Amino acid sequence: MRLSRKAKGEYQVEVSKDYDPLKIEPRWQKRWEELGVYRFDREDKKKPTYVIDTPPPYPSGEFHMGTALNWTYFDIVARYKRMRGFNVLFPQGWDCHGLPTEVQVEKRYGIRKGDLPPEKFRKRCIKLTEENIAHMREEMDSLGFSIDWSTEYRTMDPDYYRRTQLSFVQLYKRGLIYRGEHPVNWCPRCETAIADAEVEYEDREATISYIKFKLHGEDGYLTIATTRPEYLPACVVVAVYPGDKRYKKHVGKKLEVPPLGQVVGLIEDHEVDPEFGTGVVMVCTFGDKTDVRWVKRHKLPVVKLIDEKGNMSEAAGKYAGLTLEECKRAIVGDLRKAGLLAKQEKLAQSVGACWRCETPVEILTKPQWFMRVLDLKDKVIEGAKRVRWVPDHMRQRLIDWAESMDWDWVISRQRIFATPIPAWYCTGCREPVVAEERQLPVTPAKDKPPVERCPKCGNESFEPERDVLDTWMDSSITIAVHAGWPELDRRLFPADLQPNGTDIIRTWDYYLLVRHLALLGEVPYRTVLVNGMVFGEDGRKMSKSLGNYVDTTMARGKYGTDALRQWAAIGASTGSDIPFNWKDVDFGHRFMRKFWNAARFAGPHLNAKIAGLGPKKLKFRPVDRWILSRLNRLIEQTTGWLEDFQFNRALGAIQTFVWHELCDMYIEEVKHRLYGDDPTADAARYALYHVMLTAAKLLAPFTPHFSEEIYQTHFARDHPYPSVHVSSWPEVNKKFIDESAERAGELTNLIVGALRQFKSERKMALSRELPSVEIYASSGEVAKRLKEVGDDIAGTMRVGKLKIKVGKPKLAERVLAIEPELAKLGPRLRADAKLIVQALREAKPEDLAKRLAKGKIKLRAGGKRFELTPEDVRVIKETASAGRKVGVIDIQEPALTILIVSS
């Protein structure tokens, strides 16, 4: 862009022919950061606040397209709300702790977690995390997200995990966190407990074995079916469905469990599926979650069969030390030898696996820390009902999840890179001692407990808790942390918006809700905005192994981030899954180019003085009133849709307006006025100024860089705002909404369109002049409206003389020629076809047409007789009115006839 002063105080703007996003976008990103347009102003107590609690991403180092979709939604909202006058808090955090980073560190250095002292291992994790964050930050800036980096937080920083520990201490004091020994999901590879939310189910093919259990003290066997024979040594009871006729007589008897031969009872339980296998099931500690319920319900003993690495314990007898898989093979082999393996079948089964390493989870009991979430179930569900969900049906997902909870949340992990649990144990009586609030943050391995003696037994020696907290304990208090908790700034709590993907409703939305309810007794967010998952172009889930993976750097590399953001906004309705689509990205770019060129055309006419004139001082033509009315409706619609988070509809409406109403119609319809000395030219300039500025503003949340470039190139010199993003959102001016103007505009467009089609059909250049056109209206009222827009039509379509009349034109049809359809006649008549052609040429066309109208024509040619049907020929006619050759266009609604007089 270059500005140079022209005479008379007007600007001549030299604008490049094409819009180059790859050059322009980084420039604005840098400028916005300098201007601080994204800063949340903590000192400002006047403006209303708008708080977006963004889910802190895991710093894996890669920015996924799904995350880009996520953040685009947040960013559209943030930018829109800023323009609406809100003091917007759009923070950015990093959910640093957890297994994936440990796994990455283990891989990078070729070690396991126990190979290094914890502090050293932790340092390597921090280093890797910092590298990853740096990459991702850069990418987020390139994607144009209006994040306020002054609010950046990292859950691994002492100032953050101090609060995580504080929340632990407070909930412990209130009895909502407790230490207990319950079965938990256990990943043998990662050697840690994991929560239900971290277990993912995969379909696998399993083998089901039918195994004979001898009746104790009598002859005969019962056959049980199991997919996990390695658990036989931990079988504590056998169960059947109550009243199952096959087994009724055996209930209460004893059975011998192979291969170790322990003797167990046979009981009835309603959870046994009589259809599965033989209807007899062995209960082991613990093969799956049902076993856990059975053990509890029937007060059964627990055999600790598996150790923390997933190997068989001493309880497995001669199988001790084997891995699960080895044990399975050994036991099946032994059973087969002993004749106790009745048969084996294949079975499709879904297996719970660790979300991070895909190792199948086992169920172990070990002392762990738990949060009492089951007690909060009703409050969570009630809270979820009060929140606004976009789309609405997502609420049900959270309710279903909360209702399905059957274990308390295990919050301790046997890992290293995480928030330390602020607790110690008395070496005498094992009583846990939890840190005092004033001590925090603490690292128990280095710091001292808050008491000198055990409050229970008086012992003076303690050992630190070495377990750490589930990473969800860190991230589930972000909303309180943004609001300054423990001193809560009520302007920032609850958050206005809680946006995230469908996949983390059960984790992120749930944990936020349950933790803030426990801690503060309040629902922490007002609205949850849910986005769908991003699929590859082939409609399948995007993944590197499927080869349909596109990363964000690639996706924005072609046309910049504004084009990509348009795909994100318009690719699907809010909450629906969305396939990545290069065509949408291309279209986004073409749209900006279109707008860019329209602005380039309008540039010399964009004059603030004219734009500032009162409408009364201008001579508006109907098309001006039409576009201004349409513009104000667009503001109304776009605003409503943004309030409802319907991004696809908002952007779609703007695109359609700009491309089809502004560019295709309006600009074409005012060119003739702008080029001459038309006294109404300033009215068109007024409309162009307001329409283009407003459209650029409406687009600002979607295409921030493009809108800024348009604003800076054409409008900034007249306005006090240093950036379009701190300008005000367009207001609807109801005075401009005018139905009769819209009807007049539509009538103009209708006739312009019809004349364009007429020219197109006759292969005429659009610029070709039409010397004389007559429009016949069916009523005086339509004729009156036509007269109002006559000059616009004539000017746009280059009509020399335009006459408007009431009534119907007198039309006469003249047959010019009857031509043979040789495609039909040729195959039928062969060589004789030539004779027909000759005969048709010689006959009088009018006569032939009359005879044809009655049916068939009989012809004599070259001494032969022929008969022709209407299908065999084409009648070439021309229409005439008052002796002049005319083209005719009939329009149904409103009833019009247009005559294009050509001679």
Q: Is 506 in the site for RNA (CB under 7 A)?
A: yes
Single-letter amino acid, residue 476: S
- Using the minimum distance from each CB to RNA, give the nearer residue, 405 or 442: 405
- Using the minimum distance from each CB to RNA, give the nearer residue, 759 or 785: 759
* Sole binder of RNA in the list 586, 636, 819, 832 (CB under 7 A): 586
Closest residue by Cα to residue 408 from 242, 176, 611, 207: 176
Q: Which stretch binds RNA (CB under 7 A): 174-182, 396-404, 480-488, 701-709?
A: 396-404
Angle among Cα 561, 566, 572 to the nearest 5 degrees reads 135
Binding residues for RNA restricted to 693-712, rule: CB under 7 A: none
Give me 879's structure tokens: 């229409």
Min CB(753)–RNA separation in Å:
4
Do the Cβ atoms of 69 and 534 come closer than 8 Å? yes
Give me 722's structure tokens: 């240093």
Q: Which stretch binds RNA (CB under 7 A): 22-30, 129-137, 478-486, 754-762?
A: 754-762
- Using the minimum distance from each CB to RNA, give the nearer residue, 576 or 879: 576
Q: Is 671 in the site for RNA (CB under 7 A)?
A: yes
Min CB(392)–RNA separation in Å:
8
Helices (H) and strands (E) in the chain, counts: 26, 35
Q: Which stretch binds RNA (CB under 7 A): 321-329, 461-469, 652-660, 685-693?
A: 652-660
466 alpha carbon, distance to own chain's centre: 40
* Sole binder of RNA in the list 181, 675, 728, 740 (CB under 7 A): 675
Question: CA 190, CA 418: separation in Å to the nearest integer?
Answer: 14
* Sole binder of RNA in the list 53, 362, 408, 584 (CB under 7 A): 584
Q: Is 869 in the site for RNA (CB under 7 A)?
A: no
Q: Is 668 in the site for RNA (CB under 7 A)?
A: yes
Do the Cβ atoms of 371 and 409 come closer than 8 Å? yes
Give me 93's structure tokens: 């955090």
Question: CA 857, CA 876: separation in Å to the nearest integer?
Answer: 16
DSSP 153: E
Q: Is 646 in the site for RNA (CB under 7 A)?
A: yes
Question: CA 265, CA 255: separation in Å to the nearest integer?
Answer: 6
Q: Is 763 in the site for RNA (CB under 7 A)?
A: yes
Q: Is 289 in the site for RNA (CB under 7 A)?
A: yes
Q: Is 823 in the site for RNA (CB under 7 A)?
A: no
Q: Is 548 in the site for RNA (CB under 7 A)?
A: no
Q: Is 667 in the site for RNA (CB under 7 A)?
A: yes
Question: CA 480, CA 82: separation in Å to the nearest integer?
Answer: 22
Q: Is 593 in the site for RNA (CB under 7 A)?
A: yes
Closest residue by Cα to residue 882 from 812, 816, 814: 812
* Sole binder of RNA in the list 27, 112, 590, 828 (CB under 7 A): 590
Min CB(451)–RNA separation in Å:
40
* Sole binder of RNA in the list 107, 393, 490, 810 (CB under 7 A): 393
* Sole binder of RNA in the list 170, 576, 712, 733 (CB under 7 A): 576
Q: Is 767 in the site for RNA (CB under 7 A)?
A: yes
Residues with Cβ within 8 Å of 665's Cβ and at least 6 positions away in sequence, in order, are 623, 745, 748, 749, 752
3-state secondary structure 185-244: EEECCCCEEECHHHEEEEEEEEEEEEEEEEECCCCCEEEEEECCHHHHHHEEEEEECCCC
- Using the minimum distance from each CB to RNA, give the nearer residue, 496 or 661: 661
* Sole binder of RNA in the list 543, 740, 757, 838 (CB under 7 A): 757
- Using the minimum distance from each CB to RNA, give the nearer residue, 314 or 890: 890
Q: Is 200 in the site for RNA (CB under 7 A)?
A: yes
Q: Which stretch binds RNA (CB under 7 A): 154-162, 219-227, 371-379, 577-585?
A: 577-585
- Using the minimum distance from each CB to RNA, give the nearer residue, 493 or 595: 595
- Using the minimum distance from each CB to RNA, give the nearer residue, 394 or 442: 394
Q: Is 594 in the site for RNA (CB under 7 A)?
A: yes
- Using the minimum distance from each CB to RNA, give the nearer residue, 283 or 335: 283
Q: Is 888 in the site for RNA (CB under 7 A)?
A: no
Pairing, β 799-806 against β 770-777: parallel
* Sole binder of RNA in the list 116, 199, 806, 891 (CB under 7 A): 199
Binding-site residue total for RNA (CB under 7 A)? 65
CB count in 10 Å sphere of residue 850: 12
Distances (CA, A) of 218 to 32, 222, 235: 86, 12, 20
Min CB(503)–RNA separation in Å:
5
Do the Cβ atoms of 48 and 537 come closer than 8 Å? no
Residues facing residue 177 across a β-bridge? 371
Task: Let me know if 397 is exposed, middle or buried by CB neighbors in 10 A (0-12, 13-18, 19+).
Answer: middle
CB count in 10 Å sphere of residue 558: 14
Min CB(326)–RNA separation in Å:
27
Q: Is 766 in the site for RNA (CB under 7 A)?
A: yes
Q: Is 270 in the site for RNA (CB under 7 A)?
A: no
* Sole binder of RNA in the list 539, 771, 807, 870 (CB under 7 A): 539
Q: Is 298 in the site for RNA (CB under 7 A)?
A: no
Q: Is 196 in the site for RNA (CB under 7 A)?
A: yes
Closest residue by Cα to residue 73 from 572, 512, 513, 552: 572
Q: Is 572 in the site for RNA (CB under 7 A)?
A: yes
- Using the minimum distance from each CB to RNA, give the nearer residue, 225 or 840: 225
* Sole binder of RNA in the list 201, 374, 780, 860 (CB under 7 A): 201
DSSP 429: T
Question: CA 899, CA 888: separation in Å to the nearest integer?
Answer: 5
Question: CA 804, CA 787: separation in Å to the nearest integer?
Answer: 7
Give me 177's structure tokens: 């966190």
Question: CA 188, CA 112: separation in Å to the nearest integer?
Answer: 13
* Sole binder of RNA in the list 278, 597, 778, 879 (CB under 7 A): 597
Q: Is 573 in the site for RNA (CB under 7 A)?
A: yes
Handedness of CA 567, 572, 574, 579 (dihedral sign): negative
Q: Dihedrals φ, ψ of 54, to 5°?
A: -85, 135
* Sole binder of RNA in the list 397, 526, 633, 834 (CB under 7 A): 397
Question: CA 147, CA 138: separation in Å to the nearest integer?
Answer: 12
Handedness of CA 593, 598, 603, 609 (dihedral sign): negative
Min CB(361)–RNA separation in Å:
11
Q: Is 276 in the site for RNA (CB under 7 A)?
A: no
Question: CA 619, CA 679: separation in Å to the nearest integer?
Answer: 8
Binding residues for RNA restricted to 299-358, rule: CB under 7 A: 350, 352
Q: Is 664 in the site for RNA (CB under 7 A)?
A: yes
Residues with Cβ within 8 Å of 796's Cβ and at least 6 positions away in sequence, in order, are 668, 669, 671, 672, 748, 752
Min CB(685)–RNA separation in Å:
14
Min CB(711)–RNA separation in Å:
18
Q: Residues in the site for RNA, rule: CB under 7 A?
A: 17-18, 196-197, 199-201, 289, 350, 352, 393, 396-397, 400-401, 404, 502-503, 505-506, 533, 539, 541, 572-573, 576-577, 579, 581, 583-584, 586-587, 590, 593-594, 597-598, 600-601, 646, 648-649, 652, 656, 659-660, 663-664, 667-668, 671-672, 675, 753, 756-757, 759-761, 763-767
